[in-house]
Amino acid sequence: MSWGAIARMGYVCLHSQDLTAAGDHAKSILGLTETLRTGNGIFLSSAARLHHELVYLDAPSNAVGHFGLVAADLNGLDSIRLRVREAGLRVVAETPLLPGVADGFSFEGPEGFVYEIYVDMLSQSYVPLPHRPERYGHINLHPKNPTAYAEFLVKILDFKISDVIGDGFGYFLRCNSEHHGIALITGRGTLHHHAWQVQSLVQLGELGDRLWEAGSRLLMGPVRHGESGRNIAAYYVEPTGAVVELYADMRHIYDDNAPVNHMSSATIDWATQWSKYDATEFRSHGVLPTTEIITSR
């Protein structure tokens, strides 16, 4: 249940210079099911059985195409349309960018990331793969100016700030009870990771096994995050260069008016309680956004 104009996280659309590799990896490692293949795109979903939660579109270079966010209802959609216009943000399209969605529009947010706000995505009927995640959960961006980015998410999209790290080094924001739907950590302007909920720690071990058997490895984890969600998580790098997180046991905040939690940036206890790690390589991965719009055809 949400309090504002956005009900939940919707989907991630990535541009991929190797569509086959990206799609195969999402199925064999992440465990998504292909729901639609078009001339230039692959649409995938988890046990949520939606028309799409992850989309790869064929492109000359790897990039973030856009992020889909689900409006609470048509009133929520209309109010965000109005706020986007009043804020002078560039509207990219007045209708949905991809098939499977009843109504929506898209605009360019801060630092070149495009957002589609929509209602009523079609559901799909299939038996999910045994190693599937339960649903798409959140994104972690590394903006150059996280404070300005957090202000955008609060003012335009009704997100609430769950945590602040240091003096504007990072923010965790939620659009419903789940601790974060969008996390912002100071960086070079990339999508660092997209994250998928699984049932337990067991699935994180099985992810490590699948990667090993495919000749690869986890990038980090399993870890227990500290204050920043308290979830258990493991990470790997997908063919586009984006990091993927599988997580379980994320904290929920049921008090809509819960005070903002402030954490120190002097330690990384907020990020990991089970082990120490050097975040240099972890933070080096990610995908830059593009404002070039590619539609499915």
Interface with Fe ion by CB under 5 A: which residues? 140, 195, 245
C-beta of 100: minimal distance to Fe ion in Å? 26
Which of 139, 175, 183 has the alpha carbon at shortest distance from 1? 175
Half-sphere exposure of 106 (CA within 13 A, CB side): 22
Q: Which is nearer to Fe ion, 79 or 203 (CB)?
A: 203
For the stretch 38-73, what's the b/e string if a residue is b when 16 or more beta carbons lie within 10 angstroms of its beta carbon? Answer: eeebbbbbbbbbbbbbbbbbbbeebbbbbbbbbbbe
Q: Which is nearer to Fe ion, 62 or 272 (CB)?
A: 272
Are β-strands 6-16 and 54-58 bridged in parallel, bridged antiparallel, or unpaired?
Answer: parallel
C-beta of 53: minimal distance to Fe ion in Å? 16
Q: Which is nearer to Fe ion, 58 or 238 (CB)?
A: 238
Count of CB atoms situated within 10 Å of the CB of 246: 27
C-beta of 225: minimal distance to Fe ion in Å? 8
Residues 6+ apart with CB under 8 A from 187: 141, 142, 143, 144, 283, 286
Angle, in degrees to the nearest 10, between helices 146-157 and 74-86: 130
Q: Which is nearer to Fe ion, 170 or 239 (CB)?
A: 170
Q: Which is nearer to Fe ion, 140 or 190 (CB)?
A: 140
- Largest CA-CA distance found in the chain, in angstroms, rounded: 52
Q: Which is nearer to Fe ion, 9 or 121 (CB)?
A: 9
C-beta of 140: minimal distance to Fe ion in Å? 5
CA distance 186 to 206: 31
C-beta of 188: minimal distance to Fe ion in Å? 18
Identify whether the C-beta of residue 260 lies closer than 8 Å to the C-beta of residue 163: yes
Q: Which is nearer to Fe ion, 158 or 245 (CB)?
A: 245
In this structure, what are the phi and psi dihedrals at residue 167, rounded to the nearest 5 degrees?
-95, 70
C-beta of 195: minimal distance to Fe ion in Å? 4
Identify whether the C-beta of residue 250 lies closer than 8 Å to the C-beta of residue 200: no
Q: Which is nearer to Fe ion, 5 or 234 (CB)?
A: 234
Q: Coil, strand or helix: which one is 83?
A: helix
C-beta of 232: minimal distance to Fe ion in Å? 11
CA distance 102 to 245: 29
Which of 111, 155, 30 has the alpha carbon at shortest distance from 287? 111
C-beta of 138: minimal distance to Fe ion in Å? 6
